[in-house]
Amino acid sequence: MLNMNFADQVVIDTAEMDWIASPSPGVRRKPLERAGAESGHATSIVEFAAGSRFEHHEHPQGEEIFILKGIFSDETGNYGPGTYMRNPAGTGHAPFSTDGCTLFVKLCQFSSEDNNQVCIDTCNTPWRPGIGGLQVMPLHEYGATHTALVKWPAGEVFQPHRHAGGEEILVLSGTFCDENGKYPRHCWIRSPHMSQHHPYVDQETVILVKTGHLPV
- Domain architecture of the chain: domains with CATH: 11-120 (2.60.120.10), 126-211 (2.60.120.10)
Q: What pLDDT is attached to residue 110? A: 87
- Global pTM? 0.96
Mean pLDDT per 10-residue interval, the chain, length 216 residues: 96 97 94 84 97 88 96 96 94 94 95 90 98 97 96 97 96 98 98 97 98 92
| pLDDT number for residue 57 | 84
Look at residue 133 in the predicted model and tell me its pLDDT: 97
The 3-state secondary structure of the chain reads CECCCCCCCEEEEHHHCCCEECCCCCEEEEEEEECCCCCCCEEEEEEECCCEECCCEECCCCEEEEEEEECEEECCEEECCCEEEEECCCCEECCEECCCEEEEEEECCCCCCCCCCEEEEHHHCCCEECCCCCEEEEEEEECCEEEEEEEECCCCECCCEEECCCEEEEEEECCEEECCEEECCCEEEEECCCEEECCECCCCEEEEEEECCCCC
